[in-house]
Structure 1
Amino acid sequence: MTGALLSFSAMAVSIRELAATLSVMEILALRSGFGLVIMAGLTAARADLRSTLFTRQFPLHVFRNLVHLGSQYVWATSLLLLPLATVFALEFTAPAWALLLAMPVLGERTTASRIGAVVLGLMGVLVIVRPGLATFQPAALLVLLAALGFANTLILTKKLTRTDTTFAIIFWMNLIQLPLALIGSNPLFVTKLAFADLAPALAVGISGLASHYCLANAFRWGDASVVVPLDFLRIPLIAVVGWWLYGERLDPLVFSGAALIVAGILWNLRSEAARAVRPIDLKTRA
């Protein structure tokens, strides 16, 4: 989980640093290109990974990555307009939106904890965004749009994991998103990079893969009710980074709103876990 926290923070800072040289779409192309090179190398070296790449869900992969690329574009743009902590806090609404989408799309049932998670998420958003007040920042709506897109991506990923491996999903993500990102950028954008840009360029590529890998393994090996609170540490970590590197103010309301959002997610996680281990009523057994 520590690797995921550091990777997400490194990615945000690297995007800001590269934005002086590259467009947002060029930065996303750089990230996908780096990831594709690494994954192609792994695929060439290991036959077991090559065998997992075949998919019968290619149209769904394309649709998922159109949504994901658009969401990343909006999210990366918001990093240039808002304090880093605000972006990260509002991004935490993605699981709440995913709970809403899972009901009609995946046929999952409506429960009190799911509705409660969404309500707390919306309350957290209102605390952070503060609509109608002088401190309201319209760019915050961009992050909410990105979070909604990420929620759709989560739902589509859940559908894909029924037939495809995690490695295949990430491989196709990079392969599909690279040409899409190049459409909206100068194909020779790498020639614009100066020596000082090499460190953030490498950081974007490495953190892009590392964040997916570390977070996936954190949820695989750790209980979600433990991983989610640890993931919440992203917000104070990036707040300190924003204060240290960019002089951004530490806003208590951002932390308060984020706490409401995470409380809703944890409530639902614990309720789902309790339902999963509910003991069988012996009176109903034959």
Structure 2
Amino acid sequence: MSSDFNSPGLARSHHGAGIAAMLAATSLFAGMDAMAKLLMAEYSVIQVLFFRAGFGLIALIPLLWRGGMGVIVTARPWAHVARSGIALVAVSCFFLAIHRLPLAQVTAIGFAAPLLITALSVPLLKERVALGHWLAVAVGFGGILIVAGPDAWSGDLLGAGAALALAGTFLYALAMVLMRDMGRTEAAVTTVFWFSILTIVLTGAALPLVWRAPDAQAWGLFAAAGILGGVAQLLMARAVRLAPASVVAPFDYFHIIMSASLGWLLFAEIPSLNTLTGALVVVGSGLYVLRRGGK
């Protein structure tokens, strides 16, 4: 944490700004998901990811203008390649999942990420995790099974959607654990920049195979998805700089309210009882881990 927050009074004065940044970030991420769902009715996930990354770079322009290109210099290029590659597959899984499932259901499954981060931090970062945390992880996984529902284990598209959401959640958690380790030397803008560049390179190589010329409406949706996602990443990074993660992280759960609202407005999706019940279990488990910290 920055030395600006050495004073408890000053730190608390930034909590409201941090919470506001987190609420804005989760709202923009939900909007990005909705744009991606609309686009994937007509366009390949490769094309959606390519323009998501390309337009997302627009959000970095003010930071690069102010800090210069030196802010993207890194001494750990291969760490960025590994982390970005994993994150790219994770986002691909999520986009494919929201093409098949209601937005709220995929969002609820994604809430398992903090619990998986807790579990993965033991073998990868050698952190110690209390017994209560392990119990919370087990309960949270039970909640995910409730959200996924019995169709998760079937062979149809709904089952494939749940499997993709679960895979995306695991890979996202793995990417975040790697980012936690990289955060000791790498700035958030550096990580976002190299993730975007790697995504553009990899999806761009395959783009000619799936290219479909966008119409004017699709161009607008591609631009919106990219800019919303890019700004949301920066707002989330700002949120954890302004206030402790234990303060702002619970407000990430606002994401499911936005996802359910957009799902209802744009796709006539009504969250199922399984989704609502399982989401409460997962959120409760995640809040326990956040509340207890390292105890």
Q: Normalised by the size of structure 2, how large is the TM-score?
A: 0.84
Q: Is the 8 A contact 1:14 1:204 kept in 2?
A: yes
Residue 75 of structure 1, CA deviation: 0.6
Q: Aligned residue for 1:200?
A: 221
Q: Is the 8 A contact 1:52 1:164 kept in 2?
A: no
State how far apart, in whole Å, the 2-side matches of 1:56 and 1:237 are. Answer: 38
Aligned with residue 242 of structure 2, among 210, 221, 228:
221
Q: Which amino acid aligns with 2:176?
A: L
SS across alignment from 1:109: coil
In structure 2, runs of 5+ residues without a counterpart are 1-21
Residue 183 of structure 1, CA deviation: 2.1
Residue 230 of structure 1, CA deviation: 2.0
State how far apart, in whole Å, the 1-side matches of 2:266 and 2:90 are. Answer: 25
Residue 132 of structure 1, CA deviation: 7.0
1:24 has 2:45 as partner: yes
SS across alignment from 2:181: helix
Residue 102 of structure 1, CA deviation: 0.5
SS across alignment from 2:208: coil
Aligned with residue 126 of structure 2, among 104, 107, 110:
107
Q: Which amino acid aligns with 1:123?
A: G
SS across alignment from 2:73: coil
State how far apart, in whole Å, the 1-side matches of 2:206 and 2:93 are. Answer: 14
State how far apart, in whole Å, the 2-side matches of 1:213 and 1:33 are. Answer: 15
Aligned with residue 66 of structure 1, among 70, 85, 101:
85
Q: Aligned residue for 1:11?
A: 32
Q: Which amino acid aligns with 1:111?
A: A
Q: Aligned residue for 2:73?
A: 54
1:237 has 2:258 as partner: yes
Q: Aligned residue for 1:248?
A: 269
1:143 has 2:165 as partner: yes
Q: Aligned residue for 1:186?
A: 208
Q: Is the 8 A contact 2:136 2:289 kept in 1?
A: yes
Residue 163 of structure 1, CA deviation: 1.2
Within 5 Å, which residues of 2 pair with 1:145-164?
Answer: 145-164=167-186
State how far apart, in whole Å, the 1-side matches of 2:178 and 2:238 are. Answer: 19
Q: Is the 8 A contact 1:120 1:263 kept in 2?
A: no
1:81 has 2:100 as partner: yes
Cα RMSD after superposing both structures: 2.3
State how far apart, in whole Å, the 2-side matches of 1:132 and 1:201 are. Answer: 31
State how far apart, in whole Å, the 2-side matches of 1:21 and 1:165 are. Answer: 36
State how far apart, in whole Å, the 2-side matches of 1:187 and 1:61 are. Answer: 27
Aligned with residue 117 of structure 1, among 136, 153, 156:
136
Q: Normalised by the size of structure 1, how large is the TM-score?
A: 0.87
Give aligned pairs, total: 271
Q: Which amino acid aligns with 1:31?
A: R
SS across alignment from 2:71: coil
In structure 1, runs of 5+ residues without a counterpart are 276-286
Residue 160 of structure 1, CA deviation: 1.0
Q: Which amino acid aligns with 2:200?
A: L
Higher helix share: 2
Q: Aligned residue for 1:97?
A: 116
Describe the shift of the 1:244–1:39 C-alpha distance in structure 2 as closer, same or farther (beyond 3 A): closer
State how far apart, in whole Å, the 1-side matches of 2:240 and 2:152 are. Answer: 38
Structure 1 window deviating more from structure 2 (167-176 vs 248-257): it is 248-257
Aligned with residue 282 of structure 2, among 239, 251, 261:
261
Residue 134 of structure 1, CA deviation: 9.8
Q: Deviations over 1:176-233 (max 9, x none)?
A: 11101112222894x7111121321121111111111122222222343442332212
Residue 133 of structure 1, CA deviation: 8.9
SS across alignment from 2:128: coil
Q: Deviations over 1:103-125 (max 9, x none)?
A: 01100012123202211211111
1:169 has 2:191 as partner: yes
State how far apart, in whole Å, the 1-side matches of 2:209 and 2:86 are. Answer: 22
1:271 has 2:289 as partner: no
Q: Which amino acid aligns with 1:168?
A: T
SS across alignment from 2:72: coil
State how far apart, in whole Å, the 2-side matches of 1:258 and 1:77 are. Answer: 20
Residue 250 of structure 1, CA deviation: 2.6
Residue 82 of structure 1, CA deviation: 0.5
Q: Which amino acid aligns with 1:33?
A: G
